[in-house]
Amino acid sequence: MRNNVLWFTGMSGSGKSTLGTRLQQHFRGKGLDALYLDGDVFRGHTGNQDCSPAGQAHNIGQVREHVIERVDSHPVILCSSITP
């Protein structure tokens, strides 16, 4: 299987995290090492609580960098981030 990245975007509370974690469980149940990256977690860990357009772009860039670093070691990477 080729490595795949699925990225969920949308408004706060739209179900991105729920979908991402459920799909991670599904893929792991099929024996695939699925990684889930949640933009909210990145924002909390870096102390960047800025939800302005520039702050969101920065947060998405951080998630993107983590995807790039891990794409060769996980067949499935799932991401979610707020997009106004």
Q: pLDDT by residue (tens digit) across 20-64?
A: 999 999 999 999 999 999 887 766 555 556 677 787 787 788 888
Alpha-carbon torsion angle 20, 63, 46, 34, nearest 10: 40
Q: What is the pTM of this model?
A: 0.78
Name the amino acid, one letter, at 4: N
For residue 46, what pLDDT is reported? 53
Q: How far apart are CA 23 and CA 3, in angstroms?
A: 15
Where do the structural domains in the chain lie, given as residue ranges? 4-82
Q: Distance of CA 2 to CAs 8, 27, 44, 54, 75, Å?
A: 19, 14, 31, 33, 6
Provide mean pLDDT across the span 6-33.
Answer: 92
* CATH number for the domain running over 4-82: 3.40.50.300
For residue 63, what pLDDT is reported? 83
Look at residues 8, 24, 4 and name the one whose alpha carbon lies nearest to residue 16. 8
Better-predicted residue by pLDDT, 53 or 80:
80
